[in-house]
Structure 1
Amino acid sequence: MMERVALIGGGVIGGGWAARLLLNGVSVCLYDPAPKASQHMHDVLQNAERAYAKLGIAIVPATFSVATSVAEAVADAKWIIESAPENIKTKRKIYAEIEDTAPETAVIASSTSGLRPSDLQADMQRPERLLVAHPFNPVYLLPLVEVVNGARTAPAVIDRAMAFYSALGMYPLRVKKEIDAFIADRLLEAVWREGLWLVHDDVATTQDIDDAIRYGFGLRWAQMGLFETYRLAGGEAGMRHFLQQFGPSLRWPWTKLMDVPPLDEVLIEKIVAQSDAQSGEYSIRDLERRRDDNLIAILQALKANQWGAGKTLAAWEKQRRQKLDDNSTEPLLTLSRRVPAHWADMNGHMNESRYLECFSDATEALMRHIGADDDYIASGYSYFTAETHLCHLQETVIDECIVVHTQVLGAADKKLHLFHQLKDENGNTLATGEHFLIHVNLQTRRACPPLPSVRAAADLLAQAHAALPNPPDIGRAIKSI
């Protein structure tokens, strides 16, 4: 992962990039001439931290700074993300400023939603380092980023980009052929044009159109997309049957996709009035948080089913846990997060169930560290918790940054003995959890020794941690191995 990324432009997309980078432990230097850029960044980051807490994604601290010029922002950056307005002259001017100051090896990634990278490269001294990486709002939650090369983009730069965005928990979609507006926006443009006509012709209001999407095919699209949805519509005979059955209707004069209604004041006023009636009771920040909450619920459901964007989320979580692994001679850092508001009890403290949730997540992180991960479980083996003892020492309050450090007290034969310490950002111990686990064959549902690789990793940690002092109060409810 990059040590520092320069951001040129901190609007909706630039702010989203900053949040995703910062919460993945990547330091960011922003340049944006807008007077309220820093305040906007603060608002976006607050929303992103709230969303990550709900997702359970560990936040890795990083530094954020604001530059007073393009030159200052890019001076020692290895990766530069340009999110300036969609004006090709403006973007080319920015690239000239970047090339005057940035290291020659720095990659320049444009967030443009439709301009071809070959056109953006036209006046560059080193065009081989520019590509398009088009994200989707909110950038800190939605995993898709369209990666597009220009005529003179170096293949190695594209390879670097695919690895870079994957490391941020994103799904980099390689656009195979350079084209205006790429893939996703061309599809959105088709729906948008038809929506404008439906409003223009008084067939539907803005809310009618949004309801048709969110209560109907939008839910299917969220997890199957377009073609897989229609494959199902073909029944047992699949896509061929669907095309034979519905293909002729494509010649019917239903759509106005090749034409756009005049966006005159009458239509603009109609759309604005209907949109105000639909959503005007909410502030933009309220809508953003409602959007994020709904996206989180969908992403978590897809993750549980290992499908679509949920697979990307699961891989990202696994990657974050691996990054939290500490020096094996010390207790492992197995969890890092902020306490969300919905974890509060009636006293405003973190409720009892969430302590166990934190320690459960920490146990899973430890299991992944020793190789008892998803692939291991798929092979038919895992650890089951047999006993747990929690001790609450201090109050844990909402919005507090917390971490869990895990010590392996013993690993013998089928047994695994763990001790978790939940701490605040100042190192104060808030709670402890002692856990006794048994290794199980998932087919027979009986205890059995772990496979050699997992046993060796568990033994290694137990030996390394044997030199550590015994935690206080161990063995109250669980006998030492």
Structure 2
Amino acid sequence: MTSLSPISRAAAIGGGVIGGGWIARFLLAGIDVAVFDPHPEAQRIVAEVIANAERAYGLLTGAPLPQRGRLTFAASVAEAVKDAQWVQESVPERLDLKRRVLAEIDAAAAPDALIGSSTSGLKPTELQEGLSHPERLFVAHPYNPVYLLPLVEIVGGTATTPATVARAREVLDAIGMKGVVIAREIEAFVGDRLLEALWREALWLIKDDICDVETLDDVIRYSFGLRWAQMGLFQTYRIAGGEAGMRHFLAQFGPCLHWPWTKLTDVVDLDEALVEKIGAQSDAQAAGLSIRELERIRDENLVGIVQALKAGQGGRGWGAGALLGDFERRLWAAAGGERESAPEIGAPLALHEARVSPAWIDYNGHMTEHRYLQVFGDATDALLRLIGVDLAYVEAGRSYYTVETHIRHLDEARLGEALKVTTQLLAVDGKRLHLFHRLFAGEGREIATAEQMLLHVDTKAGRAVPAPEAVLAKLSPIAQAHARLAVPEGAGRSVGAKKLAEAV
């Protein structure tokens, strides 16, 4: 599948934590990326970030991603940016360095190339100084890990044109990110201003021995951190105001702002003793886990949270989950319209693959029961798309409804295992579709089967109706080919029925 993005070539100047995340995000969206980073370990560091990103995407979504973009490393800034349509600068946070690098980018990039800076706090107007084409420069401030967290703060400077901002938002939307436009430029923008306030107070709490770093992190992650992940700050407080809402909350808790609770206007002295104190507590909290191990744990947790949010609101999604769901629908629609060749129909169809996500694991450490049904349902959806029963078909008021399912659990699936489903048509007529799925994990271990009966329905009338000839014409050759296959073991069995070998 080709990329959904309006661009096909990007450049990354800087390949550290943030730059590497941008590289991975672009590559997995099907965009070619040229990288310049003078660090001697740049290629290794970028490769490790990409590996983490691919692992995370495999857990995050089963939607068909575009073919991965091509990664190249350039010998200079000019070489990296010469053909790029989007250049992302992610060098260290020093104004003099950024100005020098951005000037090199500006001189060598195509006149219509977008130039985004990953700065965490510098104003874009300061960065535009001395550029020949300042109108195409803007701040594109992401959050780590860039390949999983979708938000990007877009901040224009005095010379940035509205067209530049609009194009940037279009690209970000196409690669599954959410570009939020900050109305006026200020140092540190919005997100980092909030984080700095919390961070400053946290440092005082550690310095004054009110708590240690683990306790402080526990206070966040077991309480308001969970609320913020799905509703943010103001909507959370609206609920806290009860039926009277935000006005009541402000009236009740607003006076507290005058109480001397915090030290937000005082800057803690990060002397050697405090740095060592925080460092030692952080080492103890990590319990020997490496940075890469912590990154993988973080990614798994983020995947689980986003997937849970995707299932919210009756399947419509909420927050970052709604964003993922919308992105997946576009990926599926693009894949349905771009199938390069018809699948081999002389054997059970291999139309769906997935990977066991952290959100799919139960208390036994294995894939929980209802996720088997989800995977089989996704395989059924893949077959329906193959025969033309896609989103547009459903929106027009017709669909196939599953009316009966029988699942056999033969083995267990573990976290991160690759899953593959094969689908065999047992019978087809005007209204009915009889399927048999087999689910394999890892290197081909069969772990479950599902037999399903589907009815073609008029969703507006609420009754079964014959499928149109166009759909039946696509089903017919598959059904004829599969009629020559052996009936799979387990087909037609009821719950508790003995296997054939046991019955003989």
Q: What TM bracket, shorter-length normalisation?
A: 0.7 to 0.9
* Identity among equivalent pairs (%): 49
Do the aligned partners of residues 405 and 84 (structure 1) sit closer, same or farther apart at CA in structure 2, a change above 3 Å counting? farther
Question: Partner residue of 1:361?
Answer: 378
Do the aligned partners of residues 156 and 336 (structure 1) sit closer, same or farther apart at CA in structure 2, a change above 3 Å counting? farther
Q: Deviations over 1:290-325 (max 9, x none)?
A: 111111111111111011111111112212212322
Question: Partner residue of 1:319?
Answer: 330
The reply to whether residue 275 of structure 1 matches residue 291 of structure 2 is no
Question: Partner residue of 2:42?
Answer: 37
> Could you tell me which amino acid in structure 1 is paired with residue 485 of structure 2?
D
Question: Partner residue of 2:92?
Answer: 85
Question: Aligned match of 2:183 in 176, 182, 189?
Answer: 176
The reply to whether residue 294 of structure 1 matches residue 305 of structure 2 is no
Q: Deviations over 1:164-222 (max 9, x none)?
A: 11111112212122111111111111100100111111111111111110111111111
For 2:159 and 2:75, locate their aligned partners in 1 and report how far apart those are by CA, in whole Å: 31
Do the aligned partners of residues 84 and 127 (structure 1) sit closer, same or farther apart at CA in structure 2, a change above 3 Å counting? same
Question: Partner residue of 1:51?
Answer: 56
Q: CA deviation at 1:153?
A: 1.1
Q: Deviations over 1:132-180 (max 9, x none)?
A: 1111111111111111111111211111111111111112212122111
> Could you tell me which amino acid in structure 2 is paired with residue 93 of structure 1?
R
For 1:231 and 1:353, locate their aligned partners in 2 and report how far apart those are by CA, in whole Å: 34
Q: CA deviation at 1:470?
A: 2.9
In the TM superposition, 1:54-65 aligns within 5 A as 54-58=59-63, 59-62=65-68, 63-65=70-72
Structure 1 contact 109–130 (Cα < 8 Å) conserved: yes
Question: Partner residue of 1:427?
Answer: none
Q: CA deviation at 1:255?
A: 1.3
The reply to whether residue 122 of structure 1 matches residue 129 of structure 2 is yes
> Could you tell me which amino acid in structure 1 is paired with residue 464 of structure 2?
C
Structure 1 contact 7–82 (Cα < 8 Å) conserved: yes
Question: Aligned match of 1:330 in 342, 346, 353?
Answer: 342
> Could you tell me which amino acid in structure 2 is paired with residue 72 of structure 1?
E
Question: Partner residue of 1:249?
Answer: 256
Q: CA deviation at 1:359?
A: 4.7
For 2:360 and 2:242, locate their aligned partners in 1 and report how far apart those are by CA, in whole Å: 44
For 1:9 and 1:474, locate their aligned partners in 2 and report how far apart those are by CA, in whole Å: 57
Instruction: Provide the secondary structure at the position in 2 that maps to 1:215.
Output: helix
Do the aligned partners of residues 103 and 418 (structure 1) sit closer, same or farther apart at CA in structure 2, a change above 3 Å counting? farther
Question: Larger deviation: 350-359 or 10-19?
Answer: 350-359
Q: CA deviation at 1:99?
A: 2.5
Structure 1 contact 407–465 (Cα < 8 Å) conserved: no
In the TM superposition, 1:373-452 aligns within 5 A as 373=391, 383-384=401-402, 386=404, 414-416=431-433, 436-439=453-456, 447-449=463-465
Do the aligned partners of residues 433 and 280 (structure 1) sit closer, same or farther apart at CA in structure 2, a change above 3 Å counting? closer
| TM-score normalised according to structure 2 size | 0.78
> Could you tell me which amino acid in structure 2 is paired with residue 473 of structure 1?
L
Do the aligned partners of residues 377 and 223 (structure 1) sit closer, same or farther apart at CA in structure 2, a change above 3 Å counting? farther
Structure 1 contact 417–434 (Cα < 8 Å) conserved: yes
The reply to whether residue 6 of structure 1 matches residue 11 of structure 2 is yes
> Could you tell me which amino acid in structure 2 is paired with residue 363 of structure 1?
T
For 1:422 and 1:363, locate their aligned partners in 2 and report how far apart those are by CA, in whole Å: 12
Q: CA deviation at 1:126?
A: 0.6
| TM-score normalised according to structure 1 size | 0.82
For 2:302 and 2:414, locate their aligned partners in 1 and report how far apart those are by CA, in whole Å: 26
Structure 1 contact 329–465 (Cα < 8 Å) conserved: no
Do the aligned partners of residues 340 and 223 (structure 1) sit closer, same or farther apart at CA in structure 2, a change above 3 Å counting? closer
Structure 1 contact 299–309 (Cα < 8 Å) conserved: yes
Q: Give unpaired runs (5+ residues) of structure 2.
A: 344-348, 362-366, 442-447, 493-504
For 2:264 and 2:404, locate their aligned partners in 1 and report how far apart those are by CA, in whole Å: 61
> Could you tell me which amino acid in structure 2 is paired with residue 312 of structure 1?
L
Q: CA deviation at 1:465?
A: 6.6
> Could you tell me which amino acid in structure 1 is paired with residue 325 of structure 2?
A
The reply to whether residue 284 of structure 1 matches residue 291 of structure 2 is yes
Question: Larger deviation: 223-232 or 463-472?
Answer: 463-472
Q: CA deviation at 1:124?
A: 0.9
Instruction: Provide the secondary structure at the position in 2 that maps to 1:6.
Output: strand
Question: Aligned match of 2:235 in 228, 233, 255?
Answer: 228
For 2:221 and 2:326, locate their aligned partners in 1 and report how far apart those are by CA, in whole Å: 27
RMSD of the alignment, in Å? Answer: 4.2
Question: Partner residue of 1:473?
Answer: 485
Structure 1 contact 220–229 (Cα < 8 Å) conserved: yes
For 2:11 and 2:301, locate their aligned partners in 1 and report how far apart those are by CA, in whole Å: 31
Q: Deviations over 1:368-421 (max 9, x none)?
A: 78566499589997622646899x9xxx99989888899999987544567989
Instruction: Provide the secondary structure at the position in 2 that maps to 1:470.
Output: helix
Structure 2 contact 11–86 (Cα < 8 Å) conserved: yes
For 2:131 and 2:424, locate their aligned partners in 1 and report how far apart those are by CA, in whole Å: 54
Q: Give unpaired runs (5+ residues) of structure 1.
A: 345-349, 425-430
Instruction: Provide the secondary structure at the position in 1 that maps to 2:35.
Output: strand
Number of matched pairs: 462
Do the aligned partners of residues 360 and 118 (structure 1) sit closer, same or farther apart at CA in structure 2, a change above 3 Å counting? same
For 1:296 and 1:287, locate their aligned partners in 2 and report how far apart those are by CA, in whole Å: 14
Do the aligned partners of residues 123 and 405 (structure 1) sit closer, same or farther apart at CA in structure 2, a change above 3 Å counting? farther
For 1:408 and 1:423, locate their aligned partners in 2 and report how far apart those are by CA, in whole Å: 18
Structure 1 contact 136–142 (Cα < 8 Å) conserved: yes
Do the aligned partners of residues 251 and 5 (structure 1) sit closer, same or farther apart at CA in structure 2, a change above 3 Å counting? same
Q: CA deviation at 1:442?
A: 7.8
Q: CA deviation at 1:463?
A: 3.6
